[in-house]
Amino acid sequence: MTLVATEDLRRQNTATVLRSLRHDGPATRTELARRTGLAKATVGTIVGALVDGGHVSEADAVAAARGRPGRPLVLTGSTLVGLGLEVNVDYVSSVAVDLGGTVRLERTVPVEDRDPYEVVVAAARESADLMSGMGTRVVGATVAVPGLVDRQNGIVAMAPNLGWRGRTVADDLGAATGLPVAVENDANCAALAEARRGATIGLDQSVYVTGTVGIGAGVISGGAIVRGTSGFAGEVGHIPLGDPAARCGCGRRGCWEASVGLRALLSAVGVAEDGTPLEAAEAVSRRAASDASTAEILDGIGVLLGKGVATMANILNPDAVVLGGYFVPLAPYLMPATVREIEAHVTSAPYASIDVRLSTLGLRAAATGAAEEALTQVLSGATAV
């Protein structure tokens, strides 16, 4: 066996042990060998290197049914982090997650009158510098973008609300920061985050619907993102379910996004677009509490939201649909109409109720999922620890 092949095998075996500790929890060396199918001697060698590197620690011994007490191994992983960045029209979020699953950094900054690309470059540099100052290595960064993403080539094919077309984000940001950079759709990242650490933990099939200026969907099946043939699955914001006269950022009329996206909502109720989507939605919620006409407008948007969710539920039949972004603070005004429409239009509703949940991760959902994606280089064995 060549040296290269030996090193590849070592990385793959190490990744197998790391995934087991990350997803299945602490285990003794014997339990790890049983879980992974690796030889005990191989596990012992891998664990020794991981302990020396500060990635794994040994807990206190626990009694065993037979033989000597075992010492469970715990994935600390605090020396390695994945960096997730979400770039949106109004804000840029940064989240760093370490190999053990602990969130080490969370930041959201407004874009205001700046170029969103300049804001995300600055956020990446600042986050990497902060992690480095803590003695932590950033193994890679993933940028979550609201639009069509060519993930394989690191290109944003089209993000109309950002004004990006054919932008080589991975190469550009990588050159600016010195980090390995990947690009992913924001809804995909948010769906992954909710499945791993949010509203849909333990569910096999789920859909996440963004609630920002753009409307997209991330689909999870068997714990993995469903991307479609070209990686463009989930562009539900552009299905023709909205007001036929409403012009969308993509240039077409009648897109669902043009009627239920954040800008459409703010325009309908006469509230200025100010701050993050959650801050803008909270301002609308305060108005709706005392203004019946605002509440009525929100009810109408809830109807359109329900029709779109019903369409997705009829096609995908997921365990749950998660509503994120601005939908969360406005749920008291949107959800009654949304649920009525879902129950009226989902064919399976009389036989199996449709589980609609609200995001638990707020504006950090996409960036958190992006950070999880950045760690896959280590957890897949592509990058050595």
CATH number of the domain within which 53 lies:
1.10.10.10
Amino acid residing at 286: R
pLDDT, residue 16, reads 93
φ, ψ for residue 85, nearest 5 deg: -130, 130
Per DSSP, the residues of 128-152 read HHHHHHTT-EEEEEEEEESSEEETT
Same domain, 242 and 282: yes
Question: 250 with 340, same domain?
Answer: yes
- Range with the lowest mean pLDDT among 56-65, 98-107, 255-264, 305-314? 56-65
pLDDT of residue 385: 83
Q: What is the mean pLDDT of residues 238-262?
A: 93
Last residue of a domain, one of 55, 75, 95: 75
User: Using one digit for the tens of pLDDT, what is the confidence trace for 37-46?
Assistant: 999 999 999 9
40 domain-assigned: yes
Q: Is residue 194 part of a domain?
A: no
Domain boundary (75, 95, 129) is at 75
Same domain, 24 and 84: no
Instruction: Return the CATH number at 161.
Output: 3.30.420.40
Tell me what the mean pLDDT of segment 362-366 comes to.
92
Residue 79 has a pLDDT of 87
Same domain? For 225 and 332 the reply is yes
Q: What's the rounded Cα separation, in Å, for the pair 133 and 142?
A: 21
Does 244 share its domain with 131? no
* 273 pLDDT higher than 70: yes
Q: What are phi and psi of 103, to 5 degrees?
A: -75, 120
- 3-state SS assignment for residue 3: helix
Q: Which pLDDT does position 317 carry in this prediction?
A: 94
For residue 190 the two structure tokens come to 């948010």
Kindly state the average pLDDT of the residues 184-205.
Answer: 95
The dihedral built from the CA positions of residue 329, 333, 338 and 343, taken in this order, carries a sign that is positive
Q: Are 244 and 114 within one domain?
A: no
Q: What is the predicted pLDDT for the residue at 68?
A: 56
Strand ranges (E), 63-197: 73-75, 80-87, 91-98, 103-110, 137-145, 148-150, 155-159, 164-167, 181-185
At residue 2, does pLDDT exceed 80? no
Rounded-to-integer distance, Cα 145 and Cα 108, Å: 15
Residues 371 and 348 in one domain: no
Q: Read off the pTM.
A: 0.89
Q: What is the mean pLDDT of residues 252-256?
A: 95
Mean pLDDT (the chain) is 92
pLDDT of residue 63: 55
Residue 211 has pLDDT above 60, yes or no: yes
Q: Same domain for 206 and 336?
A: yes
Domain coverage including residue 26: 3-75
| pLDDT tens digit sequence for 301-330 | 999 999 999 999 999 999 999 999 999 999
Q: Provide mean pLDDT across the span 186-211.
A: 95
Indicate if the pLDDT at residue 352 is higher than 80. Answer: yes
Dihedral over Cα of 253, 259, 261, 262: its sign: positive
- Quickly state the pLDDT bin for 69 (edges 50, 70, 90): low
Percent of the chain predicted with pLDDT > 90: 77
More confident of the two residues 63 and 265: 265
Q: Do both 209 and 119 map to the same domain?
A: no
Strands 205-209 and 181-185: unpaired
3 pLDDT higher than 70: no
Contacting residues for 270 by C-beta, under 8 A, at least 6 apart: none
b/e per residue, 140-174, with b = 16+ CB within 10 A? bbbbbbbbbbbbeebbbbbbbbbebeebebbeebb
pLDDT: is 1 or 112 the higher one? 112
Q: What is the pLDDT of residue 8?
A: 87
Same domain, 132 and 271: no
- pLDDT of 245 > 60? The answer is yes
- What pLDDT does residue 23 have? 87
What is the structure's pLDDT at 258?
95
User: How many domains does the chain fold into?
Assistant: 3
Is the pLDDT at 357 greater than 60, yes or no?
A: yes
195 within domain boundaries: no
Q: Identify whether residues 175 and 215 lie together within a single domain.
A: no
The per-residue pLDDT for 383 is 83
How do residues 90-149 score in pLDDT, each as one tens digit?
Answer: 999 999 999 999 999 999 999 988 999 999 999 999 999 999 999 899 999 999 999 999
260 with 373, same domain: the answer is no
